[in-house]
Amino acid sequence: MNKFIPKMVSKTWGSETVWAHTPEYVGKLWQILSGHSTNIRYHFSKDETLHVFSGEGYVDFYTMSEDGDLEHSQHIHVTSGSSIYIPSGKIHKVYAINDMIVLSATADGLNDIATIKNRYNLI
pLDDT at 123 over 70: no
- Angstrom distance (rounded) from CA 48 to CA 87: 6
Mean pLDDT of 10-17: 95
- Angstrom distance (rounded) from CA 41 to CA 93: 7
Predicted confidence (pLDDT) per residue in 92-114, tens digit: 999 999 999 999 999 877 777 77
Task: Please tell me the pTM assigned to this model.
Answer: 0.86
State residue 116's pLDDT score: 79
Give CATH superfamily name and number for 7-117.
Jelly Rolls (2.60.120.10)
Domain ranges of the chain: 7-117
